[in-house]
Structure 1
Amino acid sequence: MFGSERGKGGDIVVWLILGVLALAFGLTFGLPSDQLSVGESGYARVFGQNVTKEDFAYQQRALGTVFPLPEGEQGRTFGVREEVLEAIVERLVLASTGEELGLMTETRDAEEMTRDGFYIILDLDRGFPWAGEAKFDYEWFKNDFLRGYLVVSEPRYLEIQRQELLARQTRDLIAASVVVPEAEVWAEFEKRNNQLSLRYVRFPPNDYAELVDPTAAEVDGWMMEHPDELTEMYEREAARFLKLPAEVDLRIIEVAKPMQPPADAGEEVQAMWEANVAAAKAKAELARTRIVDNGERFSTVARELSEAIDTARIGGRYGWTQVTDTGSGLDRAVDKAAQALEDGQVSEVIEGESALFVVMVAGHREGDVPEDQAKRELAEDAVRSARGRELAKQAADEALLALREGGKDLDDLFGAKTPELGKPGALGGLGGGGGLEDAPLGEGAGEEEGAGEGEEGAPAEAPAVAKNVDFSPKIEIKETGLFQFGEAIPDIGANPGLTLAAWEVNMDEPVIDEVFNTPAGYLVAVVDERSQADRERYAEERAEIYDRLTRTRAIGVLSAFTKHRCYLGKATVDIRTNDRAVDQLMAYEGVEWPEENAPLPPYEMCARVGDGGGMLRLAGALRGQGMRSP
């Protein structure tokens, strides 16, 4: 044991005397037996080796040089003590197996490894400060590392490292027996090299649904055709219609009010401001006149004239809200005006702090909403959603048709490179025409409860969206980047149909001839790039792939073998525990455990053997910490 580093100048006579005394003591009282019982101070006995509290303390400190061990409640959650004890058991199981197989390591091997600058923990090589070219520092090793940090004697440390070396030999022997079939290597090569990338556009139904204004006839029809579905919807969402505060179904048209110039501004600036204010008021008055006097739909006028983009897009709908107490969150002038309006009534032009408003209240409710009214609201949402899906699918079909037969590409239709084609309409636009304004959004497009009726009570005929305004959903071209065959498609998810269709595409005509319904909307795609495996490249990469697959498989084989060997040892009583001491250890006494947390399952020896400290690695990853540097 590092004989040249210790004992220099020692008195050999003293050592001889001590040796004689020890021999006499042994002959008189018997030499120490290697069949010690576990005893009160130990935790387990594994193939003839005692696992003492000192061994546990060493293993815990040694693991701390590899992983930042969680403490307290987090340590209990990840089972730090279980991992520490299992690491000792794993080492002893594999060392015992190595001895049975005729493998051998000596203390001298551990000494040489230490001089070279390394020690082993969980089959990982950890480095001493002298690893490399530096000189072995015995004093630092003995005093700082062994006594100061690990708190272990030198003979015990070297014995543990000898066992680690023997366990490694066992692992290496088992890993060397692992063979990967050639077909599996080729399959992995194909998986890595059969790649493609897509460019695509998506048409979200929810965006199109915002442009739909269901008519009373459409809602009635849907309720008659889907009575069971409507009942299920109501039962599922009934809580949202109960015990409501006083609310109104608010619709607004907003026109920005020009900011007043400073008092010392010139006459020209003042005159310009007054002209802009007059123009804003005229625009707001025009909106009201078109609704009240001309019978146009509030939603139509809101989409054309309102300057509040979010509500203008959805026809001025602000939704059910309070206009008393907490208020709607809008200008106070809006809430005050809404409080005085009856169902379907349109306000005068209201001047707020920063804008002019035209307000309509489409309905009132408070407390528990009657079931028939609640079901009608649900049906209206269902109609809007269904029509949104139809419009999104129609837009996707139009885009695919233009790509496939119209000689266009995605940049022509939806990119910024060809602005001369015009902005795509709500249904794709596709170079003019075919937008939402030309789509049938439901019979009686001018019908709206309480507003927009002509002199004879007939619905006024007006387009759902003004032709000079484009509220089309923004269609954005996206790219997946290269992904492997069989993988989930980036930003799209698992879609085997899309993947298979992409692989069957002729790259001379890269458009995928199908519209795909994905969770985020209808999708139209073209194959941007595709690469396939070939034998020449396989010859270059085969060795690396085989090595990687072998190592991966060896990990699984080693884990299964070690667990099997451990459980077999328990069955043959070659592994036994001091249940009382282990239970006390795993109780984590002194660690507070929140009452709401479920209790951890009881500790079972061998359950984590062979996992290589998997839970400790996970704990480090979740805490943003990896393995410690050697």
Structure 2
Amino acid sequence: MLELMRKHAKNWLMKFLLGMIVIVFIFYFGTQRGNEQTETVAIVDGKEIALAQVQKEYSELVEFYRRQYGNDLPDELLKGLDLKQRALNNLISQAILVEKADGLGIAATGEEVRSFIMAYPAFQRGGAFDEALYHRMLRVNRTTPEVFEAEQQKMLSAFKLEQLITEAVKVSDEEIFDFFRFQNEQINLNYLMFSPASYKSSISPSRKDLEDYLKDHGSEFRVPEQIQIKALFFPWRDYAASSGISEAEIADYYERHSSNFAKKGEKAPPISDVKPRIVQELMQISGMAAAEEAARTAHDTIYQQENFDAYATQNKLKTVTTDFFTMDGIPAPFNKLAGFPQMVMDLQKGDLGKVLSNEEGYVVIQVASRKPPYVPQLKDIEQAVENRYTEMEARNLCKKTADAMLSRLKKGKSLNQIALANRMSVEETGFFKPGDAIPKLGTNQQLSLALYQLSEGAPLPESTFEVNGGFVIVSFKERGKIDTADYEAKKENFKKILLQAKRNETFTTWLENTKALLIKEGKLKFKKDIKEL
């Protein structure tokens, strides 16, 4: 039994079994009493699957993916993996295996259970099974050897059932060679590329066409919200004292920052060489402090008295008023202010923002006006609407033509005849492996998948494909010669890969068919929609 486990260590169920002891501690026993009280999500042949079980399995899957891809795995990607549904599916599959094994009288022996437990690293010390450790871990998880071993017996019985289903699967030499050819074969295609640009000159939209297009596609021309602001600037240079910096202050600054003046691998230059720079930096420090104080005083006064313009006049400050702008086109120097976009988006007309700064100083901002988003009138964007309409119609006409030509090819016309009728020339990709980027055409997932169906007897795909802005018709031309020199050396490895794939497919098919039958018989019931959990 242990040899069987090692042989199939990469099998998904084997991984499940090897992790079962750890999972059982928390899942079956750590929460067993609570599960009896929790909400039922599904019932498999009389066995309930509780919400707590689904949540636990879901957490395990999330943790697995975070370990694989790092803790910065985006939540959007996790959501796209549909892990809640997968968690429920896993639990249903486990329940089906256990119940079917029991129903068929497939059971692991006591010796197999003991061997499995004794071989598990969690219960070993110094490479050998430690019975005291085993019992201590079970006590910590509030279970007994009898209960724990009964659960392991169920899991190992399920594993035996899976082996029974898959071990009968075989692969022939012909299948192995076909798989080798699939991995190594190259093909060559003929193709015709239809470009939408060729159809633009034939399109003359009416006024009604443009009006309808703007009505249906207004979001394409929507002008986002625009904002206008007023600002008071407090640059540090206006507040820096050009005199009053003592020699003692210069010497103290040099002593504390001498390493900043040294080139890499060299000693700091003498203070006399960097004195002008020190004076400049000290002026900026004092100027920034004074500018900040002035800006905050202005902000607090304006906030209390609501007198932005009056305050500027009284204190001889120049008010800068911007043109209207969108958040995608913030004008300088505001685009260099940290926190500016977030702050402005939260302000209404007349609101005063918090004091912001950059390396040049401080600024106090007030929203002068806001224009809501809108869709312009046709007369104001007629050329843009006409361009979009023409592009859309040219694309539609191009696709329609390409589809019609493919239909004619399927009825017996040759690619050269189609090319001649459309004043085109038949192009050739050259040899490449399906699945790779297609020479001269690039990458298109749907087209790449369709290539696997093409052959001498079936040279045409079911549809045309949009590639690089155009529509392409491809036709199988020829296969490249396969170098079989290393086939015999790689045959056994190909056999293992193909055999495992067929066994996985066989087992998955059995599992899905069993689920479908249980649902039909009313033995698999769902009490909760997984989307609600």
Normalising by structure 1, we get a TM-score of 0.34
Greater fraction helix: 2
- If you compute each CA radius of gyration, which structure gives the higher value, 1 or 2? 1
